[in-house]
């Protein structure tokens, strides 16, 4: 991604290094997804500091903005023209599982909680989500099961997965460099 996470976080008046969640439900929004995400993330932000970038869609902006008040770690937008910037700023995404979103998440290798639209034709959003769930970076919550507890648990699970993968990468990284240096020395 060409846009730096740090730059985007600065533009959003967010801090670098704080766990950041992106929430969106599509151009019209998703009432239940928006409401449950807002309630859950407000509660989580009081327990452990997190930052939230919430794109509500046209029908939910005022209601969500009123709920969050002037929380400095929670930004609400009706729409965002640069979804790439929103993805770049986030550590985890909470969204529907339409074909476009699933493709973007897969291309960016972004961890996500997917909430398939219950009334999608042939349940295609559920099957889209199942396809990328295999990678281990996606947790699916069917809309009928979407609640503060299920969403909170899913976000924490992904956060812990990110932490353990980062720690594993840090441990492996020096070994790789040492190995490459040994090969260079042997070749010279």
CATH number for the domain that contains residue 21: 3.40.50.2000
- Crossing angle (nearest 10°) for helices 99-108 and 124-133: 10
Digit-coded pLDDT (tens) for 69-113: 999 999 999 999 999 999 999 999 999 999 999 999 999 999 999
> Please, what is the end-to-end C-alpha distance for the chain in angstroms?
36
Residue for token pair 């910037």? 85
3-state secondary structure of 38: helix
The pLDDT of 147-157, averaged and rounded, is 96
Sign of the dihedral defined by the CA atoms of residues 12, 13, 19, 23, in that order? negative
* DSSP state letter for 169: H
Digit-coded pLDDT (tens) for 26-59: 766 699 999 999 999 998 877 788 999 999 998 8
- Whether 175 has a pLDDT exceeding 50, the answer reads no
Tell me how many domains the chain contains. 1
Q: What mean pLDDT value characterizes the chain?
A: 87
The pLDDT of 116-135, averaged and rounded, is 93
Residue for token pair 């897969």? 106
Instruction: Return the HEC string of 99-145.
Output: HHHHHHHHHHCCCEEECCCCCCHHHHHHHHHHHHHCCCCEEECCHHH
Q: What percent of the chain has pLDDT over 90?
A: 73
Q: Which residue range(s) make up the domain with 113?
A: 5-187
- Whether 134 has a pLDDT exceeding 80, the answer reads yes
- pLDDT value of position 151: 97
């Amino acid at each position: 991604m060409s846009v730096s996470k740090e730059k985007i976080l600065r533009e959003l008046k967010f801090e670098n290094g704080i766990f950041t969640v992106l929430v969106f439900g599509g151009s019209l929004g998703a009432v239940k997804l928006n409401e449950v995400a807002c309630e859950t993330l407000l509660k989580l932000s009081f327990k452990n500091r997190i930052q939230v970038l919430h794109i509500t869609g046209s029908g939910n902006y005022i209601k969500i903005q009123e709920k969050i008040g002037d929380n400095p770690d929670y930004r609400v937008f009706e729409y965002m023209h640069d979804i790439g910037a929103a993805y770049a700023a986030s550590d985890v995404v909470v969204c529907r599982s339409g074909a476009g979103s699933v493709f973007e998440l897969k291309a960016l290798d972004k961890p996500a909680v997917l909430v398939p639209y219950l009334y999608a034709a042939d349940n295609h959003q559920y099957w889209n989500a199942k396809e990328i769930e295999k990678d281990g970076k996606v947790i699916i919550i069917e809309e009928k099961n979407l609640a503060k507890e299920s969403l909170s648990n899913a976000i924490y699970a992904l956060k812990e997965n990110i932490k353990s993968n980062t720690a594993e990468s840090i441990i492996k990284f020096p070994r790789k460099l040492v190995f490459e240096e040994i090969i260079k020395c042997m070749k010279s």
